[in-house]
Structure 1
């Protein structure tokens, strides 16, 4: 019998937004009422940038180009919630998350992955930050205006 395949404790967070700082939030199917930006774990031999582009495509249907994706050169470390620990090797308790952003035009069409998300919202950045579950997602969204001013 093959050994079980565990998720890597390395992931990406991609804050998708418009020029007017409307932020895209996705509602997870499970747990219910869990709003977030695009997230996902790296696959074997995948860089964070590659994972970010893949996750954006899988979760939203947006075909972003690598040059459109802004790498914040920031990582967050956080404890993996107990209900998700079984997805990781037994001794893994923390995850490292790489942060990116992607600016898209107003009215950007979004196609949800129905096995992962069942609703979406475009909200002003401050309202989006108040709605997300994750403290890392909240912090990144709140930093978005200052990052965009510097670009």
Structure 2
């Protein structure tokens, strides 16, 4: 079966990161970077679909440093990885939300009580940390956040402010 295209790109049925129960088609993975780990300031985002095996993922995830949180997203068969080492790994019940960014255009109308904008400086990163700490979360390295925002094409930090 050939992949279907939609107005947003590849059909969701053929997206690498939305079908964790099956291996993605070779044409979608041939040019993909391997073993992708992104430092996020509070820990690392580990992109499971870029790893060829659970063994490689386990090795990376075991490298989580104290006072940090590493999160693995889009891994193939997450329940199998967790079942292999249940004393080390768990499946977080939190939701993650996806926005198909390649064609996204913000609505020009104001949202009402909230304004969403991109992070504009280290002062915004410091404000994020204050919220993280109030919520009992791991604070982030302000320099890493600001560097990611300025130099990493695939990372965008968004700030939501009361209007």
Q: Do Structure 1 and Structure 2 share a fold, with TM-score over 0.5?
A: no
- Greater strand percent: which structure? 1
TM-score, length of structure 1 as denominator length: 0.28
Which structure carries more relative contact order (alpha carbon 8 Å, separation 6+)? Answer: 1
**Greater gyration radius:** 2
TM-score, length of structure 2 as denominator length: 0.26
